[in-house]
């Protein structure tokens, strides 16, 4: 699903979206962090065992390196 959302945001002519963020469920018995990592998301905070989620982000546009 996140791929479809990213594709839609990237094809919009008037979008101001640079990245997507999610709160990935990270509790005993269910961990969505692995799924989001496979979809190109990276953690944007340190894991907190008392929180139950991990905030993750994915940039929509690759960073262009200067030549």
In whole angstroms, what is the distance from residue 45 CA to residue 24 CA? 12
* Number of domains the chain contains: 1
Exposure class string for 2-31: b at 16+ Cβ within 10 A, else e: eeeebeebeeeeeeeeeebebebebeeeee
Give a yes or no: residue 28 inside a domain: yes
Give a yes or no: residue 53 inside a domain: yes
Domain that holds residue 50: 18-59
In whole angstroms, what is the distance from residue 59 CA to residue 24 CA? 16
pLDDT for 6-55, tens place per residue? 666 666 666 667 788 999 998 888 889 999 999 889 999 988 888 899 99
Give a yes or no: residue 48 inside a domain: yes
Give a yes or no: residue 65 inside a domain: no
Give a yes or no: residue 37 inside a domain: yes
In whole angstroms, what is the distance from residue 33 CA to residue 47 CA? 10
Higher pLDDT, 27 or 65: 27
Give a yes or no: residue 31 inside a domain: yes
């Amino acid at each position: 699903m996140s791929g479809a959302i990213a594709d839609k945001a990237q094809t919009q002519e008037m979008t101001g979206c640079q990245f997507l963020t999610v709160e990935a469920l990270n509790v005993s018995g269910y961990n969505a962090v692995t799924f989001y990592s496979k979809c190109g998301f990276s953690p944007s905070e340190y894991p907190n065992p008392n929180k139950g989620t991990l905030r993750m982000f994915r940039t929509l546009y690759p960073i262009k390196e200067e030549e």
